[in-house]
Amino acid sequence: MDCSVEEIEPNVWRVRIASITRLVRFRADSRTFAPWEVLGAEGHVLWSATSLESAFRWIEARTGYPAEALFAQALLERNTSTGTHPAAPEASDESPEGSKDRQALGN
């Protein structure tokens, strides 16, 4: 099975799964809540998503193949080849005791 994910331009990803090709691109338009588009190989819009991860989950749901895992692998390979690492989570200034007093709404 031929499966690959590659970034072909900034914010444009090509997903190939067997004979299926999908493009995922960011549409810089402040008038939308779903700026990520999933396109067919011919360039027509198939789906709009609120996040890049959501776009890959949509492809995964339609093809039955692990597009989201392929995307994660492509990100790891890109970071390894460029020598960059994902940002570490920020340390919280809040003490563990202070968080015990909080309750989730609705509980």
Task: Please indicate, yes or no, if residue 17 is contained in any of the structural domains.
Answer: yes
Task: Please indicate, yes or no, if residue 70 is contained in any of the structural domains.
Answer: yes
pLDDT digits (tens, 9 = 90+) for 81-102: 666 544 444 444 444 444 444 4
Q: How far apart are CA 4 and CA 19, in angstroms?
A: 11
Distances in whole angstroms, Cα of residue 8 to Cα of each of 48, 76, 104: 19, 16, 42
Q: Which amino acid is at 84?
A: T
Residue 26, Cβ density class (10 Å: 0-12 exposed, 13-18 middle, ≥19 buried):
middle
Q: Residue 16's beta-bridge partner residues? A: 4, 21
Task: Please indicate, yes or no, if residue 92 is contained in any of the structural domains.
Answer: no
Domain that holds residue 15: 3-81
The candidate with the shortest Cα–Cα distance to 25, out of 14, 40, 36, is 36
Average pLDDT over residues 5-28: 90
- pTM beyond 0.75: the answer is no
Q: How far is CA 36 from the centre of its chain?
A: 9
Task: Please indicate, yes or no, if residue 96 is contained in any of the structural domains.
Answer: no
Mean pLDDT of all residues in the chain? Answer: 77
Task: Please indicate, yes or no, if residue 64 is contained in any of the structural domains.
Answer: yes
How does residue 24 score in pLDDT terms, banded at 50, 70 and 90? very high
Task: Please indicate, yes or no, if residue 66 is contained in any of the structural domains.
Answer: yes
Q: How far apart are CA 34 and CA 47, in angstroms?
A: 9
Task: Please indicate, yes or no, if residue 46 is contained in any of the structural domains.
Answer: yes
pLDDT digits (tens, 9 = 90+) for 62-85: 988 887 787 777 777 777 766 654
Number of domains in the chain: 1
